[in-house]
Amino acid sequence: MDQNFKIIEGTDKINPDEVVRLLRMTYWAKNRSKELIEEAMRHSSCYGVYLGNEQKLVGFARVISDYATTYYLCDVVIDPAYQRHGLGTALVSYIVQWPTFKGLRGFLITRDAHALYRKFGFEVVNDRVMVKPPTR
């Protein structure tokens, strides 16, 4: 696997059709309409993962925040063909270290990726909700 990847930030730089393709592969968003996905993207900070010089989006995440105290990390997905190569870890690391969110309390909901998020200080509150305490 080519580990040459780039993470980009900005809804305007990410093709919504590719996000729809990725989210259709998930248990939590497989039935969301394209219109709903595009609306959610417009109201979020969005991040995409691209491999090498490929134009294909292989990872995506969005963040909803008040930019002062709290952010909600959601829709984190890596194309199954590219999983287990550190791309999810790289994407989450990029986001939690982003100056806008660094130091804020983070929330997320997952049923099966607790080990990934624990690496970044998220703690399980119940079987799905995880919280990362603020670090200011």
pLDDT at 3: 64
Among 108, 112, 84, 114, which residue's Cα sits nearest to residue 95? Answer: 108
Q: Residue 86 is encoded by which pair of tokens? A: 């550190």
Q: Residue 17 is encoded by which pair of tokens? A: 């059709």
The residues facing 6 across adjacent strands are 50
| Alpha-carbon gap, residue 92 to 125, rounded angstroms | 19
| Alpha-carbon gap, residue 77 to 79, rounded angstroms | 7
Q: 10-69: per-residue pLDDT in tens? A: 999 999 999 999 999 999 999 999 999 999 999 999 999 998 776 789 999 999 999 999
Q: Domains in the chain, please, with CATH?
A: 5-132 (3.40.630.30)
Among 22, 12, 20, which residue's Cα sits nearest to residue 91? Answer: 22
pLDDT at 134: 87
